[in-house]
Amino acid sequence: NFNKKKYLLIPLILAAILSLSVLFSSKWPLSWDIYTHINYAITYINYGITTVDPYLNAPNGKEIGYVPLFHILLIVISSITNTSLIDTARIIQTITPVIITSIIVYVTYKMYDEVAAIVAGILLVSSFMFTRLLLPIPETIALIVFIIGVYLFYQSTIDNKMIYAFISGFLTLPLMGIHFSSCVYYVLMIAQCIIQGKLVGLKSYGVFLLALIIVGLCGVFALITYSPSHLSQFITGFNSVLNDPLSLFMGQKAMGLERYIKCVGLLPLVCGFIGLCLSFRNREVLFVSAWTLIAFIFSNMHWFGIPVYTFRMLIYLIIPLVILGGYGVSKIYGYLINTNKKQQGVILIL
């Protein structure tokens, strides 16, 4: 019987091999972003939580445009492991891809079955976008919280357990503290459940919003108590976004169709399309199908005149796409197994 849980380790092993190969091939962490974040972490070590980095743009310093939780995480891990911030970043870039792959495999397994989970993990590793998971940056860490939060919300609509929806809403707090853009996208993704037209979905969304409001109020209270100046900066920034929402997207670059396909990967796109077609007759996949379609639209907002940075948005597309692709392959595999056992080898090779 192919459906054995031990095969779920296959994509995890592949992800670990790729991560370790990067670790041993270079003594420096990937991406130039991480060096900026390390500099911010050093600033927090020497000056505490501040909004200005005195080490850059002397003599006035440079305003820190990132929320601080990722940098605090760097400092904590560095202290626990007794390593430099550079080596801490290398640890993060080695562990994070395996963790995200494990979560996607687990989520797909709980949603569907072992075959879907294995295929989803392999599709993720096969995509060029997997290389973005190797970057030790706030967005990568935020993806862990992002996937868990969306899955918990999905479970609340299935099991009618509102505690899952509440936890999902509460996760906006660490998500906002790690990567603000991911938090905004997370709230928008959760909202897509309404299109399912299920009363339980609306109820879960109401609980999610309740937790979101509580988190927001706690954040405002904390700012008023400990740092009124930060609250003033937050209100100013929020008002500027309300007055000119498109300012968030200024300077972003679209992507041509050929590069779009190469980055996502032909295999994930084909399998995802198969899963999407099969989902029209299986409402249990509607949540992931809607998630995939909305992520696809967001990654192509330049069609509507909004110049989003397509490459960065693709990481949010690949996650539901590989889950949907795993579902599609699982359905085809089950059909072939039940109709003609000689096709087992063919479908496994594919």
- DSSP labels for 188-243? HHHHGGGGG--HHHHHHHHHHHHHHHHHHHHHHHHHHHH-HHHHHHHHHHHHHHHH
Query: How many CB atoms lie under 10 A from the CB of residue 299?
Result: 24
Predicted pLDDT of residue 200: 46
- The verdict on whether omega for the bond into residue 59 sits within 30 degrees of 0, i.e. cis, is yes
Which residues have C-beta within 8 Å of that of residue 73, sequence separation ≥ 6?
A: 141, 178
Answer for the pair 123, 267: CB distance below 8 angstroms, yes or no: yes
pLDDT in tens, 197-234: 454 455 666 666 777 677 677 766 766 665 565 556 56
Stated pTM of the model: 0.82
pLDDT in tens, 108-133: 998 888 888 999 999 999 988 898 99
Predicted pLDDT of residue 94: 92
Answer for the pair 100, 147: CB distance below 8 angstroms, yes or no: yes
Low-confidence ranges of the chain (pLDDT < 70): 1-4, 192-208, 212, 215, 219-220, 222-256, 283-284, 302-310, 339-350
Which residues have C-beta within 8 Å of that of residue 312, sequence separation ≥ 6?
A: 139
pLDDT in tens, 199-209: 445 566 666 67
Measured distance CA(123)–CA(308) in Å, rounded: 25
62, two tokens: 């440079």
Answer for the pair 299, 308: CB distance below 8 angstroms, yes or no: yes
Measured distance CA(271)–CA(315) in Å, rounded: 17
Predicted pLDDT of residue 118: 92
Answer for the pair 66, 183: CB distance below 8 angstroms, yes or no: no
Residue 118 sits at the vertex; the CA angle it makes with 326 and 175, to the nearest 5 degrees, is 75
